[in-house]
Amino acid sequence: EAGVAQSPRYKIIEKRQSVAFWCNPISGHATLYWYQQILGQGPKLLIQFQNNGVVDDSQLPKDRFSAERLKGVDSTLKIQPAKLEDSAVYLCASSRNTGTSGGRYQETQYFGPGTRLLVL
């Protein structure tokens, strides 16, 4: 089974420029997540999709970040314009499903290798 694919692996841009990251989840996984990981910290969830709908984007800085998953498979995360503090690793993860009511159904999240962004 192929894992979660992400591209590019590395990106260097100047502040106020735009950048986009792409993620292809594991085949058949309905749920897709984007995380931001700042150096020395654990990953922080930015947005969660269930198929092509947004489940949670409460931590997404919507003035500059946007994400879409138009056909319920691939996803793109965009930053426009970038700030210095956006320098981080952007991780994509996928899982088969979210938990059902009662939280009994647990699904493991599988992570891609990440895109390392440096904003100068």
Partner 1 sequence: DAKTTQPPSMDCAEGRAANLPCNHSTISGNEYVYWYRQIHSQGPQYIIHGLKNNETNEMASLIITEDRKSSTLILPHATLRDTAVYYCIVRVYNFNKFYFGSGTKLNVKP
**Interface residues toward partner 1, by CB under 8 A:** 4, 31, 35, 40-45, 48, 55-56, 91, 93, 95, 97-99, 101-104, 106-114, 116
The nearest distance, CB 112 to partner 1, in angstroms, is 5
CB of residue 99 to partner 1, shortest distance in Å: 5
Query: Given the DSSP bridges, would you call strands 115-119 and 88-95 parallel, antiparallel or unpaired?
Result: antiparallel
Tokens of 27: 């085949």
At residue 85, the 3 state secondary structure works out as helix
Cβ proximity to partner 1, 21 vs 35, nearer residue: 35
Q: What's the rounded Cα separation, in Å, for the pair 40 and 108?
A: 24
Rounded Cα gap, residues 12 and 54, in angstroms = 28
Using the minimum distance from each CB to partner 1, give the nearer residue, 19 or 46: 46
